């Protein structure tokens, strides 16, 4: 039974740093150029070419480490990880092995069960590999991405569900975006995630055998891969078969994972210190300067929203994970006496409307001033929440003043009991069943009656007043 097991997940996230040039040469890192137009002898691994470390890479990696609560090493080094693959012309990748730049960090997330801290084991710097381009005439190599700087952020196996994995990657992305070290465009591959997953019987403290799913580059794939792999492992164990430690590939078309390589052909990378690169040494002054350059991070804003606007931790977390949304929220909330209405419009309707548009970037087509005005109309009771939704839909198409829109269409809320009472009486007369149900204690029947009355007002009735009138009629 799936419910007898829990999943244990650790994530390795690769993030491209947004330096203008590559990690060991002066080639451009710009995305989308024609194949092999951004390479040189250094990043193509020609014999005799010498790498020189781009200091901006160290600064960005240190900033990411500090923002993720890591201890930063004053002394670290770079190592060669040897393997052959056609997208890696040098036949080794420069990475960090036993002395990573950052260690022992953590990241706090919100879950349905409350806040949770996920440990970060280490963050190291390394270079990206090229790309294979499969065409109908064969496979080509594009080396533009060779030598693009990456940080790899390795989590502790602290994650227990797809929901937590998603929350972790979202929050990680937010922190990296706020810190300004990466553009984190998942669709361009500048943020990708390897999922390590094992299962164990609930209550068991030991770790099970894990599999690793490589290079998932969307939240949806991460969630689907986790759900499939959890079910697959549980099924294997229940059938008395062992889980094999291996690397698996997630296929987005079938939603399944497939074996790529097993432990038998486990890599032996023969790591050794790169003889062409001196150790990375950081002085205390430099660290202090970088520490001072870290801007207000999502958790700081979140704490402020909870305190200033009385938001729940979950709502506040939702708002801060997109910096553009947080900025937008602050501007709109500052212009209305009803910031809670801004929050509820954002976390329900606006997030829904945004999720319908394909772009990962967050562009809200309604100005903060107009949204603030809509919050005013809702907060002061001049319109009801259904009208609020309707107006927002119209403002999404054309960024107009909601007060003017409501006026033109005469959408003002009808709260006058003298106007509403006849409608209430009609509704009760037309729905004797619902009335009887309510009197027998079935309180849902009231909701149906309120809906009926609302329709009779063209959606403009005040649900609060309607409820009170209905109760008065039914109980009186
Ligand atoms: P490797 O370098 O071979 O990928 P690591 O031991 O560094 O292996 O672990 C990589 C990731 O796998 C980490 O995020 C870690 O938390 C996670 N991990 C390790 N063991 C398990 C396990 N049994 N179940 C789930 N995740 C695990
Ligand atoms: Mg790994
Ligand atoms: Zn180059």
Q: What is the pLDDT of residues 307-325, one digit of tens each?
A: 988 888 988 998 898 888 8
Rounded Cα distance between 343 and 176, Å, is 24
Residue 359 in this model has a pLDDT that exceeds 60: no
The closest alpha carbon to 37, from 24, 47, 27, 46, belongs to 27
Res 360: pLDDT: 54
Ligand 2 centroid from CA 247, angstroms: 9
Q: How confident is the model at residue 2 (pLDDT cuts 50, 70, 90)?
A: confident
Ligand 3 centroid from CA 48, angstroms: 14
If residue 102 lies in a helix (H) or strand (E), which one and from where to where? strand 102-111
Residue 89 in this model has a pLDDT that exceeds 60: yes
Ligand 2 centroid from CA 212, angstroms: 7
Ligand 1 pocket test, pick from 105, 159, 210, 211 with the greatest ligand atom count within 8 Å of Cβ, gives: 210
Token pair in block for residue 23: 């990690």
Ligand nearest to the CA of 127: 3
Overall size of the chain counted in residues: 476
Cα→Cα distances 412→391, 457, 470, Å: 11, 11, 21
Ligand nearest to the CA of 11: 1
DSSP state of 187: G
Q: How confident is the model at residue 106 (pLDDT cuts 50, 70, 90)?
A: very high
Ligand 1 pocket test, pick from 12, 201, 267 with the greatest ligand atom count within 8 Å of Cβ, gives: 12
Location of structure tokens 């500090």: 66
pLDDT (average), residues 195-203: 95
Ligand 1 pocket test, pick from 95, 123, 157 with the greatest ligand atom count within 8 Å of Cβ, gives: 157
Res 39: pLDDT: 96
Nearest protein CA to atom 24 of ligand 1, as residue: 198
Query: What is residue 207's three-state secondary structure?
Result: coil
CB burial class (10 A; 0-12, 13-18, 19+) of residue 292?
exposed
pLDDT (average), residues 157-161: 97
Residue 139 in this model has a pLDDT that exceeds 60: yes
Q: How confident is the model at residue 122 (pLDDT cuts 50, 70, 90)?
A: very high
Res 188: pLDDT: 87
DSSP state of 415: -
What is the chain's mean pLDDT, rounded? 92
Ligand nearest to the CA of 206: 1
What is the value of pTM for the model shown?
Answer: 0.85
Ligand 1 centroid from CA 60, angstroms: 25
Ligand 3 centroid from CA 405, angstroms: 56
**Ligand 1 nearest atom to the CA of residue 8, by list position:** 25
Ligand 1 centroid from CA 362, angstroms: 33
CA 321 centroid distance within chain: 7
Rounded Cα distance between 177 and 148, Å, is 18
The C-alpha angle 32, 35, 37, rounded to 5 degrees, equals 95
The closest alpha carbon to 319, from 336, 340, 338, belongs to 340
Ligand 1 centroid from CA 117, angstroms: 17
Residue 263 in this model has a pLDDT that exceeds 80: no
Give the pairing type, strands 246-251 and 211-216: parallel
Nearest protein CA to atom 5 of ligand 1, as residue: 154
Ligand 1 centroid from CA 147, angstroms: 25
Contact 171, 298 (CB under 8 A): yes
CB burial class (10 A; 0-12, 13-18, 19+) of residue 99?
middle
Ligand 1 pocket test, pick from 154, 205, 225 with the greatest ligand atom count within 8 Å of Cβ, gives: 154
Nearest protein CA to atom 15 of ligand 1, as residue: 10
Ligand 2 centroid from CA 14, angstroms: 11
Location of structure tokens 């209905």: 470
| CA dihedral over 229, 234, 237, 241, signed as positive or negative | negative
Ligand nearest to the CA of 43: 3
Nearest protein CA to atom 13 of ligand 1, as residue: 10
Rounded Cα distance between 331 and 333, Å, is 6
Res 323: pLDDT: 83
Residues near ligand 1 with C-beta < 6 Å? 8-12, 154-157, 196-198, 207-208, 210
Res 361: pLDDT: 57
**Ligand 1 nearest atom to the CA of residue 196, by list position:** 26
Query: What is residue 20's three-state secondary structure?
Result: coil
Ligand 1 centroid from CA 338, angstroms: 47
């Amino acid at each position: 039974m799936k419910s007898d097991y829990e999943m244990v997940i650790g994530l390795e996230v690769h993030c491209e740093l947004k330096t203008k040039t590559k990690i060991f040469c002066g080639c451009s890192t710009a995305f989308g150029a024609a194949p092999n137009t951004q390479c040189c002898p250094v990043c193509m691994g020609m014999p005799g070419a010498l790498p020189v470390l781009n200091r901006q890479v160290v600064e960005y990696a240190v900033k990411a480490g500090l923002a993720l609560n890591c201890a930063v090493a004053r002394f670290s080094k770079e190592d060669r990880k040897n393997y052959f693959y056609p997208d890696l012309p040098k036949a080794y990748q420069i990475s960090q092995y036993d002395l990573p730049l950052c260690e022992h960090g953590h990241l706090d997330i919100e879950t349905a069960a409350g806040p949770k801290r996920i440990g970060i084991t280490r963050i190291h710097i390394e270079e990206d590999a090229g790309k294979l381009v499969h065409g109908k005439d064969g496979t080509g190599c594009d080396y533009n991405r060779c030598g693009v700087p990456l940080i790899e952020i390795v989590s502790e196996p602290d994650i227990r569900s797809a929901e937590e994995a998603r929350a972790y990657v979202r929050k990680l992305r937010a922190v990296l975006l706020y810190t300004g070290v990466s553009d984190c465009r998942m669709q361009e591959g500048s943020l990708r995630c390897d999922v390590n997953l094992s299962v164990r019987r609930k209550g068991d403290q030991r770790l099970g055998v894990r599999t690793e799913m490589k290079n998932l580059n969307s939240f949806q794939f991460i969630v689907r891969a986790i759900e499939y792999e959890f079910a697959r492992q549980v099924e294997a164990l229940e059938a008395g078969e062992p889980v094999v430690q291996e690397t698996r590939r997630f296929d987005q078309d079938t939603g399944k994972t497939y074996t790529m390589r097993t432990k038998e052909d486990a890599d032996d990378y023969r790591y050794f210190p790169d003889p062409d690169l001196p150790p990375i040494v950081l002085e205390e002054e430099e660290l202090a300067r970088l520490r001072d350059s870290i801007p207000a991070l999502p958790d700081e804003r979140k704490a402020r929203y909870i305190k200033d606007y009385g938001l729940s931790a979950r709502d506040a977390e939702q708002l801060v994970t997109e910096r553009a949304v947080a900025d937008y929220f602050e501007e709109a909330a500052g212009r209305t006496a009803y910031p809670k209405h801004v929050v509820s419009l954002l976390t329900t309707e606006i997030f829904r409307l945004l999720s319908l548009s394909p772009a990962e970037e967050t562009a809200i087509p309604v100005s903060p001033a107009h949204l603030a005005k809509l919050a005013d109309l809702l907060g002061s009771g001049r319109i009801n929440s259904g009208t609020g939704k309707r107006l927002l839909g119209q403002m999404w198409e054309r960024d107009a003043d909601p007060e003017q829109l409501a006026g033109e269409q005469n959408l003002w809320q009808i709260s006058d009991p003298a106007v509403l009472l006849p409608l209430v009486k009609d509704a009760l007369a037309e729905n004797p069943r619902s009335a009887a149900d309510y009197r027998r204690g079935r309180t849902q029947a009231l909701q149906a009656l309120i809906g009926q009355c609302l329709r009779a007002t063209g959606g403009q009735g005040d649900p609060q007043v309607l409820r009170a009138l209905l109760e008065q009629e039914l109980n009186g």
